[in-house]
Structure 1
């Protein structure tokens, strides 16, 4: 597929810079297989972030002493060392990159000579040598040509050499970012650019301005045998590797063996998106030739289902009322999610969290009592004010059959609709969520980034014993004094949550990954743009 100037300008590039690189980008992407909407979107997101929206092709090493300690603490562990190098780009480059990536020692000057260049910063003498062999021209002797003549080609080289098309196919922004950056620096901005690219490509395709190509075809080879099977991030059974739960009969594509055939790497179609992970091989059964069914979402039918609400706008349904929980909030002055920028949308989410004030004793709608807790009430109220449909009540089986037959069915409590608890919301999101705009996530780092960008984000877990309550929480934007818990690599391990339950919490990360507890059969992360 070819992109247009508008794709780049909508992502933040100036028209002049878009025109400067457009033809080269289209030619290089076509030759090297960056040809599906996901591959193009991920490639452009990383390229735009690394180049400052196509403004720069040479790494700026001009850091103040304070920034040196923040960005490169390993190389400037003391204030004195940072002060001795501050605002001296050449000395900084030689200190940071000297003696590694094929560069000579700091005194040779290789660190600064082979600093980052190109639209995705090619760094280090070894990489310059490898790129020379790939492009068929010697840039080791004249490294500045990477920034001028080969700015686009060096970016495509890096993308191809690191196998990033395969990661783009399964929408793995976290791993792509780590391979480009070495960590998760600028992750929120990269995700924002990815969403801009997706929207621009989809909207331009709808106008016929660009042609979207599908990614790799999902070819089911096996199905899941047990009632539930964990999809894991690595071939080992541990709480921190659980990525998603696959239901019995779920179709998977086996990509290859791992760990002496005990584990296999698989690809699945999870709520309309391709994902990859590992499962235990013994829990899969090969599909009989000729009898494999294509994994087709039932969203055409689900999309025609109407939302179900008890009477809306009732002024007596308030936060302070102990009752009326089947009805949506109706008190006057309630806020709504709005704003065009991610910052404005995140601020709107914050305002809604503060308005609901789930921990306030006066807000009896959410307070636990008599063994009852109201995590589902809080989550659905939050989504309702944000304009994301998460049902407090949903159609009964007979009502769904009447709707499918073309009838218009009125909402009648206990007759055509029933209340949903957290266990039931888990199933509703699996069955109908994508038809109402919900997007499945598998990575808490991405989930927190989505919340920070003003999206409605949830964590929901279903109990093994369905007679016991499940749990659902809201993931909210980070702000001063309230942040997610991250590990040493910068990955989110406990998002910033807001919840009702046995203990109501306005904003705080959980002490642990509660959704991985053995009492839960399965869990899921969801976001609503």
Structure 2
């Protein structure tokens, strides 16, 4: 087996071309890969990445060295729905759209729209847009940026919460894991047994635990948009180069041609930027840029879909 490993964070592409549209992931330093064959364009190789469910793609071979280690047989701890954790709002907790606070808690308002996972495709699509309208990201105090903080992670959490898919606002702290692995569930206590998840931490969570909670990593933005157009939930998550600076996460949403809500496409209809919604430095109800393809800001990124 032709095993190699990356000597630097390495762009993983769906074609051997240096174009933004071909970039589908960034392989971390030390990622083990298997060479499949030489690409039609040298010195590019077609490779297979075991840690990405044997996803195949192309990399520049200059940044690979022969792997002296054996193929990894390591296994990870598997989590399930019983390990989901959300903080429960108390009688005095104000976790509403019109309040700039309560960010560690799920929204707690009357008559909130929800997406029924058992509904028809069309009903799911309508529900997603109703949720976006309800959250009103461009005006709600909950998501308004401050000079020292933005709330893309809170907005993505609220969006997923109302869509009835799990994306953590808080996750188990290291000291709680030993109890959980023994089958014991500690009480969720803020900053003791659970910690808030930053945008950078959400990328790591999706990589490490996403598949345990129904998230499927996708390596094609076109496929991601197609699945979301059927009523699925999609996110794009990216990790900042500087761990002290915020990463980013956006939610991918269904297109609606009747309202001019479309992904951005090239003249040949190749999809460039999915239709998205976000909070952040600029809160946007709908937009369609390729913000994650910025190597000066983001070291890793990924696309995920949840039915």
Answer whether TM exceeds 0.5 for this pair.
yes
State the alpha-carbon separation in 2 of the partners of residues 304 and 450 from structure 1: 23
Residue 41 of structure 1 is matched in structure 2 by none
User: Could you tell me whether the CA contact under 8 Å between 1:422 and 1:462 is conserved in 2?
Assistant: yes
Asked whether 1:233 is paired with 2:14, we answer yes
Residue 358 of structure 1 is matched in structure 2 by 137
Consecutive unaligned residues of structure 1, counting only runs of 5 or more, are: 1-219
SS in 2 for 1:345: helix
Q: 1:243 aligns with which of 6, 24, 31?
A: 24
Asked whether 1:429 is paired with 2:206, we answer yes
Matched residue count: 302
Alpha-carbon offset, residue 407 of structure 1 = 2.2
Equivalent residues in 2 for 1:410-449 (5 A)? 410-449=187-226
Residue 97 of structure 2 is matched in structure 1 by 319
State the alpha-carbon separation in 2 of the partners of residues 466 and 370 from structure 1: 18
Asked whether 1:268 is paired with 2:49, we answer yes
User: Could you tell me whether the CA contact under 8 Å between 1:233 and 1:278 is conserved in 2?
Assistant: yes
TM-score calculated relative to the size of structure 1: 0.54
Equivalent residues in 2 for 1:310-389 (5 A)? 310-312=87-89, 316-338=94-116, 340-360=119-139, 363-389=140-166
Residue-by-residue CA offset, 1:310-362 (whole Å, 9 max, x unaligned): 115867311111111000111111111125321111111111111111112xx
Alpha-carbon offset, residue 451 of structure 1 = 1.5
Structure having the larger proportion of residues in strand: 2
User: Could you tell me whether the CA contact under 8 Å between 1:244 and 1:524 is conserved in 2?
Assistant: yes
TM-score calculated relative to the size of structure 2: 0.91
Q: 1:482 aligns with which of 261, 265, 274?
A: 261
Structure having the larger proportion of residues in helix: 1
User: Could you tell me whether the CA contact under 8 Å between 1:458 and 1:472 is conserved in 2?
Assistant: yes
SS in 1 for 2:179: helix
State the alpha-carbon separation in 2 of the partners of residues 348 and 230 from structure 1: 36
Residue 257 of structure 1 is matched in structure 2 by 38
Q: 1:261 to 1:305 in 2, by over 3 A?
A: farther
User: Could you tell me whether the CA contact under 8 Å between 1:313 and 1:328 is conserved in 2?
Assistant: no
After superposing the two structures, state which structure 1 stretch, 274-283 or 435-444, moved more. Answer: 274-283
Equivalent residues in 2 for 1:7-22 (5 A)? none
Q: 1:501 aligns with which of 264, 280, 283?
A: 280
Residue 463 of structure 1 is matched in structure 2 by 240
User: Could you tell me whether the CA contact under 8 Å between 2:4 and 2:35 is conserved in 1?
Assistant: no
Equivalent residues in 2 for 1:161-180 (5 A)? none
Residue 179 of structure 2 is matched in structure 1 by 402
User: Could you tell me whether the CA contact under 8 Å between 1:222 and 1:284 is conserved in 2?
Assistant: no
Tell which has more relative contact order, 1 or 2 (C-alpha 8 A, sep 6+).
Answer: 2
Equivalent residues in 2 for 1:185-224 (5 A)? 221-224=2-5
State the alpha-carbon separation in 2 of the partners of residues 474 and 445 from structure 1: 15
Equivalent residues in 2 for 1:272-291 (5 A)? 272=53, 274-288=54-68, 291=70
SS in 2 for 1:523: strand
State the alpha-carbon separation in 1 of the partners of residues 192 and 90 from structure 2: 22
For the aligned residue pairs, the C-alpha RMSD in angstroms reads 2.1
State the alpha-carbon separation in 2 of the partners of residues 451 and 487 from structure 1: 20
Asked whether 1:515 is paired with 2:292, we answer yes
Equivalent residues in 2 for 1:64-103 (5 A)? none
User: Could you tell me whether the CA contact under 8 Å between 1:313 and 1:330 is conserved in 2?
Assistant: no
User: Could you tell me whether the CA contact under 8 Å between 1:224 and 1:246 is conserved in 2?
Assistant: no
Rg larger in 1 or in 2? 1
Residue-by-residue CA offset, 1:274-293 (whole Å, 9 max, x unaligned): 3211112233233448x322
Residue 32 of structure 1 is matched in structure 2 by none
User: Could you tell me whether the CA contact under 8 Å between 1:459 and 1:474 is conserved in 2?
Assistant: yes
SS in 1 for 2:108: coil
Residue 303 of structure 1 is matched in structure 2 by 80
Q: 1:312 to 1:386 in 2, by over 3 A?
A: farther
State the alpha-carbon separation in 1 of the partners of residues 171 and 212 from structure 2: 14
User: Could you tell me whether the CA contact under 8 Å between 1:422 and 1:471 is conserved in 2?
Assistant: yes
State the alpha-carbon separation in 2 of the partners of residues 313 and 227 from structure 1: 47
State the alpha-carbon separation in 2 of the partners of residues 278 and 266 from structure 1: 6
User: Could you tell me whether the CA contact under 8 Å between 2:36 and 2:47 is conserved in 1?
Assistant: yes
Alpha-carbon offset, residue 245 of structure 1 = 1.4
Q: 1:347 to 1:271 in 2, by over 3 A?
A: farther
User: Could you tell me whether the CA contact under 8 Å between 1:254 and 1:265 is conserved in 2?
Assistant: yes
State the alpha-carbon separation in 2 of the partners of residues 304 and 509 from structure 1: 32
Consecutive unaligned residues of structure 2, counting only runs of 5 or more, are: none
